[in-house]
C-alpha cells in the first residue's frame, strides 16, 4: 500500500558524496533509474507528494558497494552513529548509520516522516511495536512484528505503521545502513518498553558530509539510552 505524505515542492540536490552511486539499475518494474541528485530531483521530489513504494524500489535497485559509501562510515565503541550524507535542501535527510557489535536504538517514532532504511553491510534486527495507549495504566509495550534485515534489503516505516527498535545483535560483525527521512526532523519520541512512558529526544549527527565532528554527548545520548524510572 502506498503511503503519501505531502511535502513542499522541492529543488533538492541529493548527496554530495552519494552522487557516485549513479550506476544504472533496473528496479522490479523494469524502469531504469539513476541514484544521483538529478534523478531524485526530477522523479521523486518533483511534486508535493512522495511515493513511498517507488522510493523503496529505487533503493532496492542499488547493490551495495563499500567504495561508494565508506568515506561516510564512522563508528563509535559506545553507541551507534548517525552520519549525514546530504540534507536535501531541507526536504529530506540522507545518512549512514553505523552499528558496532551489540549496539541498538531505543524504541522510537519518526515525527510523522517517511523512514526508508537500506542495508549496506552486515545485518540488523528490527522490532516493531504498537503505540502505547496513554489513557490506560502503564503496561509493557506490545511487539507486533520482527524483521531480520540483511545486506541490500530495504525496510520502510512511518508513524501510522507503528514504532520500532533497531539492533545489531551480532557479537562479531559491524553493520551499516543507509537511511532516508522525508521530511527531515530534529526531534522524536523515545519509549520505555516496560511502561510505555515516552520522552522527547533531540537527534544529532556524529559526522557531516564525510567529516567527523565531536558533538556534546549529553543530547546525543537521549536517543540511545532512555533512563528508566
Contacts 24+ apart (CB under 8 A), 34-41: 35/61, 35/62, 37/12, 37/13, 39/14, 40/12, 40/14, 40/88, 41/10, 41/11, 41/12, 41/13, 41/14
Between 215 and 16, the more confident residue is 215
Residue 10 has pLDDT above 80, yes or no: no
pTM: 0.79
Residue whose grid cell is 541514484: 35
Is 37 labelled as part of a ligand binding site?
Answer: no
Residue 151 has pLDDT above 80, yes or no: yes
Residue 122 has pLDDT above 70, yes or no: yes
Is 179 labelled as part of a ligand binding site?
Answer: no
**Torsion, Cα of 43, 44, 47, 50 (10° steps):** 150
Distances from the Cα of 172 to the Cα of 67, 99, 121, 175, 188, angstroms: 22, 12, 13, 10, 30
In total, the chain counts a number of residues equal to 229
Between 173 and 49, the more confident residue is 173
Is 164 labelled as part of a ligand binding site?
Answer: yes
Walk me through the domains of the chain, giving residue ranges and CATH numbers: 76-224 (2.60.120.10)
Spatial contact of 44 and 58, defined as CB atoms under 8 Å apart: yes
Residue 214 is predicted with a pLDDT of: 53
Amino acid at each position: 500500500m502506498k503511503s503519501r505524505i505531502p511535502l513542499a515542492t522541492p529543488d533538492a540536490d541529493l548527496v554530495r558524496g552519494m552522487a557516485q552511486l549513479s550506476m544504472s539499475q533496473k528496479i522490479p518494474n523494469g524502469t531504469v533509474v539513476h541514484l544521483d541528485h538529478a534523478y531524485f530531483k526530477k522523479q521523486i521530489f518533483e511534486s508535493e507528494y512522495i511515493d513511498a513504494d517507488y522510493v523503496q524500489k529505487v533503493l532496492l535497485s542499488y547493490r551495495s558497494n563499500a567504495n561508494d559509501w565508506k568515506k561516510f562510515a564512522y563508528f563509535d565503541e559506545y553507541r551507534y552513529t548517525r552520519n549525514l550524507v546530504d540534507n536535501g535542501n531541507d526536504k529530506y535527510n540522507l545518512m549512514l548509520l553505523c552499528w558496532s557489535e551489540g549496539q541498538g536504538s531505543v524504541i522510537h517514532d519518526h515525527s510523522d516522516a517517511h523512514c526508508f532504511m537500506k542495508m549496506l553491510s552486515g545485518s540488523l534486527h528490527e522490532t516493531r511495536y504498537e503505540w502505547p495507549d496513554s489513557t490506560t495504566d502503564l503496561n509493557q509495550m506490545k511487539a507486533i512484528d520482527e524483521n531480520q534485515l540483511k545486506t541490500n534489503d530495504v525496510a520502510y516505516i512511518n508513524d501510522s505503521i507503528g514504532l520500532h527498535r533497531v539492533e545489531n545483535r551480532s557479537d562479531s560483525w559491524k553493520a551499516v545502513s543507509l537511511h532516508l527521512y522525508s521530511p527531515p526532523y530534529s526531534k522524536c519520541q523515545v519509549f520505555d518498553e516496560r511502561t510505555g512512558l515516552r520522552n522527547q529526544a533531540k537527534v544529532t549527527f556524529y559526522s557531516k558530509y564525510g567529516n567527523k565532528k565531536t558533538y556534546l554527548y549529553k543530547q546525543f545520548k537521549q536517543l540511545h539510552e532512555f533512563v528508566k524510572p
